[in-house]
Amino acid sequence: ELALSGHAPVWAEYARSVLDDDESEVETASKREQAIGVMAKGGYNATTDFPACLIFEELMDTYPNVKVILSVRSSGNVWAESVRKTLARAWPTMSRRPWGWLPQLQPWQDLFPFIWTSVGALPRSPLPLPSDILEADVLANAHDRWAERVRSKVPSERLLVHTSSDGYGPLCYFLGVSDGDCPSEEYPRSNEANEMVRTFNAMDIMAVCFDIAVTTIAFAVCVRLGLMLRRRKGPREDIARVKKKE
C-alpha cells in the first residue's frame, strides 16, 4: 500500500532526516508531520506495519482517541526466524541491479536502514548497509523490547495485543464492530513466508541474469571496437611498409 499510494518518497525524506545526525529536531519533526499529513489527505483512517508503526507515539499525540493494536508472535525467536527468511532479504535484493535503479524501489534504500535501526536490529553508527546481517538473537530481542515499549506507552484501554491465532473476534470487539459485521472466515495471512521467499528468489535470479547480460554485452562491444580499430590500423601499416621499401 505504501508503494501504491505514492507516499514512499515522503517517508524516505523523514527516514533520511532521522538517520542524519546533522538534521535538527525541528526539521525532523516537520518531515514526520508531512508523512502523517499525506496519510490523512489520502483518506486513510488507519495504518499498519512499517514504517508508520515506528511513530505510534506521535500518531497518538495527533489523534488522542486513536486505538493501538500490537501484533505479536508467539515468541521473539519465531519472529526472528520469519524475518530472516523474508524481510531481511528485501533490502539486499532491492539494492541489486536493476532493482536499485527503479524509481519505485529507491525510497526503500532509506526506509530499510531507518526501520532496522529504529527497532534496534542494527546499530545507528556506522549507518547500516544492505550487506549487514540481521542476527537472529538481535531480532528476537528487538521483538520483545518493542512489544514491551508499546505496552508501556499505550494506555491499557486503548491497546489490544493480538496474534494471528486470535482471529477476528478480539479485533471486532476492540474496534466496536458488531457480531453481525465481524468476518466469519479464517483470519487472513498476507505476506506468507513461502510467497515472499519465491519472490525474492526470482528477483535474485533476474539480478544475476542481468549482471551476466550486461557483462556479456560489454565484452562483445569491446571485442567489436577492438576489431574495428585493428581493421582501420591495418591498411596504414601496410602503406607505411611499402613506402619504407621504396
pLDDT (0 to 100) of residue 234: 58
pLDDT tens, residue by residue, 105-141: 899 999 999 999 999 998 887 778 888 888 999 999 9
pLDDT tens, residue by residue, 27-39: 999 999 999 999 9
Among 85, 99, 87, 91, CA closest to 207 = 99
**Mean pLDDT, residues 42-71 taken together:** 92
pLDDT (0 to 100) of residue 173: 95
Residue 206 in this model has a pLDDT that exceeds 70: yes
For cell 523474508, the residue is 86
Q: Residue 70's beta-bridge partner residues? A: 161
Among 121, 117, 160, 155, CA closest to 137 = 121
Q: Which amino acid is at 225?
A: L
108-118 and 87-95 helices, crossing angle to 10°: 150
pLDDT (0 to 100) of residue 125: 76
**Mean pLDDT, residues 167-183 taken together:** 93
